Structure 1
Amino acid sequence: MVTIYHNSRCRKSREGLELLNGSGKDFEVREYLKEPVSTEELKSLLDKLGMAPIELVRKEEKIWKKEFKGKDLSDDELIRIMVENPKLIQRPIVVKNNDAVVGRPASRISDLLN
């Protein structure tokens, strides 16, 4: 099964969803701002992505710049911050089995599906 972690207000996320709609593959949409991810789920996503927590943070978000930029934060603290502030999570994230990609650019999603 394929899952897209989607934010409908994000242009890149909408592009990823459009690509999935045209792929002919079955998938589910997880609107993670409405149904936030748990700590365990975020850790699993990071593992599938092969990324460190700081790599998944949207560093241009206002809340990051105001509250967290320049602080020496541990991986566990970064995960907690993203769980508490899901807008800080890069998007879209597309998961297929035990693999995942951040769909920027959207062609990374195509690569994952093939």
Structure 2
Amino acid sequence: MIQIYHNSRCGKSRECLAFLEDSGKEFEIVKYLENVPTFDELKSIIKKLDIKPIELVRQKEKIWIENFKSKKMSDDEIIQTMILNPILIERPIVINSDKAFIARPLEKAVAIL
């Protein structure tokens, strides 16, 4: 089943959600700010995205800049930081089976469907 890791306050995430709704395909909405992924879940998402953990971090967020930007962190520490501060997770993430994309721009979501 297709999943979208969604933040309703994010315009890009709302745009992707509307796209999925219009696609007619079945999907699940994961409100990751309320239902924060576990360490293993986030690690699995990162593997499906085929990126380094730092590439999933919203590095322009105030909390990142003020608390973490200048720190040297391991991949596991970065993942743990995202779990403790889920606002730092880039969005929207669309997952379909063993593939995932950060749907920015929206056209990336098309490729996964």
Report whether the alignment pairs 1:81 with 2:81. Answer: yes
State the match for 1:38 in structure 2: 38
Residue aligned with 2:81, SS: helix
Match of 2:92 in 1: 92
2:106 maps to 106
Secondary structure (helix, strand or coil) at the match of 2:112 reads helix
Q: Secondary structure at the match of 2:79?
A: helix
1:26 corresponds to: 26
Query: Secondary structure of 1:69's partner?
Result: coil
Gaps of 5+ in 1: none
What's the offset of the Cα at 1:70? Answer: 1.6
May I ask how many residue pairs the two structures share in their alignment?
113
Q: 2:49 maps to which residue?
A: 49
Residue 7 of structure 1 is matched in structure 2 by: 7
Taking structure 2 as the reference length, the TM-score comes to 0.99
Unaligned segments of structure 2, at least 5 residues: none
Aligned residue number for residue 16 of structure 1: 16
Deviation of 1:71 (Å): 1.1
**1:75-111 deviation line (CA, Å, top 9, x unaligned):** 0100000011000000000000000000000110011
TM-score normalized with structure 1 length: 0.98
Summarize deviations over 1:31-90 as a string: whole Å, max 9, x none: 000111100000000000001000000001010001001211100100000011000000
Other-structure match for 2:64: 64
| Paired-residue identity, % | 51
Say what the alpha-carbon RMSD is for the aligned residues.
0.5
Runs of 4 or more above 4 Å deviation:
none
Distance 2:23 2:96 in 1: 13
